[in-house]
């Protein structure tokens, strides 16, 4: 790459990492998501023009935020907008909110709670958060939701209009109201984490910034709500999953859990995750309660990360945990994962009988599971067909390489 191309690539990397922070700051200050997005984009164009000449500033995120805010003020003045909120915005400093913002001073968490307002449809909450906090393009979000780009663009536009029209505030609810919004926020934080985690096994490893952001938000929620088991469970789940990040891809190929170099797992994150899981279990025992889905998924990951090698995994405990998960979250995907675990106890024929009954033909992991189970049963032609379907259903290069290699090794 040329020097100019290297600088442009670095600008793109910085912008993508800082996008959520810039938009959240502008949204809090100006109370308008369209202005926040548009001016963040103008700040990028200015950076592309000036940084190759002036050099990348020591605090590029602060530079982008300040530049975007100045552009917003210029735009407001040009258009002679005179409503009270915008006039107030022109008079304040970046670190001074124009209205009460809730129990925590964090622009990005405020943005998440805004995007997860109950007035918005669930699918709109997720899409809007991924767009504004994660900086994903509309096309990327549309592909994640398996819908047309125009459909997703309309969904995001309607959600922003709803926020504006209903005067939904950019704030974290007071503590007494947090629980009512919590499940939606946890779901969105986990989806942001997964978007980064899954993308980081492909060409775009920069999306690891999304996993870091989701964990950061999880830690803030944990400080806010230390007695909420599902908050601790989600944080533990993300930590235990992220601990394996560095071992998931080698030489451009996906490395499955059973083949990963466990000596390279992040033991600090694992220890913290295990501590949180034990805390959740103790709370459930003390209250005679029922653990939620995030707590159970964290416990499953704790069992995996407790095994020093794949063959010492306690599959009986994992299947038992999936049985619990099926009670609180009886989805076909959970049943698929349970079947994969059950194959290690009762054999691939039992698991395949369950998998084949699931209506998941549009889900690439279903094809992967079938391919592996059919392979173990010696049904080579069917296994190769299933691998072909799995390859066609994923656009992740590292997974494509892995699946292609596995297909080539099928006997016959």
Which pLDDT tens digit goes with each residue over 180-212? Answer: 678 888 988 898 898 888 765 444 444 677 788
pLDDT exceeding 70 applies to what percent of the chain? 89
* Distance of alpha carbon 360 from alpha carbon 11, whole angstroms: 40
249 forms beta bridges with 254
Is a pLDDT exceeding 80 seen at residue 121?
Answer: yes
- Extract the tokens encoding 391: 């390859």
* Distance of alpha carbon 87 from alpha carbon 409, whole angstroms: 67
Looking up tokens 């939904």, which residue turns up?
168
Burial class (CB in 10 A: 0-12, 13-18, 19+), 261: exposed
The span from the first CA to the last CA of the chain, in angstroms, equals 44
* Distance of alpha carbon 296 from alpha carbon 285, whole angstroms: 14
pTM of the model: 0.78
Q: Among the listed ranges 7-11, 29-33, 89-93, 374-378, which one has the minimum average pLDDT value?
A: 89-93
Going by C-alpha positions, the residue among 365, 408, 405 that lies closest to residue 389 is 365
pLDDT at position 106: 76
Helices (H) then strands (E): counts for the chain = 19, 2
Is a pLDDT exceeding 80 seen at residue 405?
Answer: yes
* Distance of alpha carbon 333 from alpha carbon 359, whole angstroms: 10
pLDDT at position 183: 86
pLDDT band per the 50, 70, 90 thresholds, residue 376 = very high
Going by C-alpha positions, the residue among 3, 17, 1 that lies closest to residue 51 is 3
Q: How many CB atoms lie within 10 A of CB 54?
A: 9
Give the contacts of 31 (CB within 8 A, at least 6 positions apart). 85, 86, 89, 98, 170
- Extract the tokens encoding 163: 């926020």
* Distance of alpha carbon 277 from alpha carbon 298, whole angstroms: 7
- Contact (CB, 8 A) for 176 and 114: no
Is a pLDDT exceeding 50 seen at residue 159?
Answer: yes
């Amino acid at each position: 790459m040329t020097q100019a191309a290297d600088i442009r690539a670095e600008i793109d990397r910085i912008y993508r990492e800082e996008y959520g922070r810039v938009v959240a700051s502008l949204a809090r200050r100006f109370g308008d998501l369209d202005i926040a997005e548009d001016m963040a984009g103008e700040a990028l164009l200015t950076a592309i023009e000036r940084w190759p000449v002036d050099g990348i500033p020591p605090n590029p995120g602060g530079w982008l935020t300040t530049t975007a805010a100045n552009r917003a003020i210029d735009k407001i003045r040009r258009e002679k907008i005179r409503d009270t909120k915008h006039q107030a915005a022109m008079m304040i400093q970046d670190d001074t909110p124009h209205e009460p913002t809730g129990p925590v001073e964090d622009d990005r968490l405020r943005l998440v709670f805004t995007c997860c307002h109950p007035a918005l449809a669930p699918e709109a909450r997720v899409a809007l958060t991924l767009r504004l906090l994660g900086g994903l393009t509309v096309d990327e979000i549309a592909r994640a939701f398996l819908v047309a780009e125009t459909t997703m663009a309309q969904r995001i536009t309607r959600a922003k209009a709803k926020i504006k029209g209903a005067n939904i505030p950019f704030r974290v609810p007071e503590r007494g109201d947090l629980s009512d919004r919590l499940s939606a926020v946890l779901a969105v934080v986990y989806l942001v984490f997964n978007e980064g985690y899954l993308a980081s096994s492909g060409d775009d490893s920069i999306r690891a910034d999304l996993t870091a952001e989701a964990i950061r938000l999880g830690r803030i929620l944990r400080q806010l709500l230390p007695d909420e088991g599902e908050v601790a469970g989600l944080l533990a789940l993300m930590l235990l999953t992220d601990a394996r990040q560095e071992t998931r891809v080698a030489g451009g190929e996906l490395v499955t859990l059973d083949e990963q170099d466990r000596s390279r797992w992040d033991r600090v994150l694992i220890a913290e995750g295990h501590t949180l899981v034990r805390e959740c279990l103790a709370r459930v025992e003390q209250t005679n309660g029922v653990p939620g889905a995030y707590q159970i998924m964290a416990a499953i990951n704790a069992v995996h990360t407790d095994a020093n090698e794949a063959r010492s995994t306690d599959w009986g405990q994992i299947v038992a945990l999936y049985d619990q998960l099926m009670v609180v979250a009886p989805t076909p995907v959970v049943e698929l994962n349970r079947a994969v675990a059950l194959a290690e106890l009762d054999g691939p024929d039992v698991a395949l009988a369950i998998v084949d009954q699931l209506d998941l033909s549009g889900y690439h992991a279903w094809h992967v599971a079938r391919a592996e189970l059919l392979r173990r049963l010696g049904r080579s032609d069917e296994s190769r067909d299933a691998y072909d379907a799995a390859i066609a259903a994923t656009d992740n290069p590292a997974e494509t390489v892995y699946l292609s290699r596995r297909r080539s090794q099928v006997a016959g």
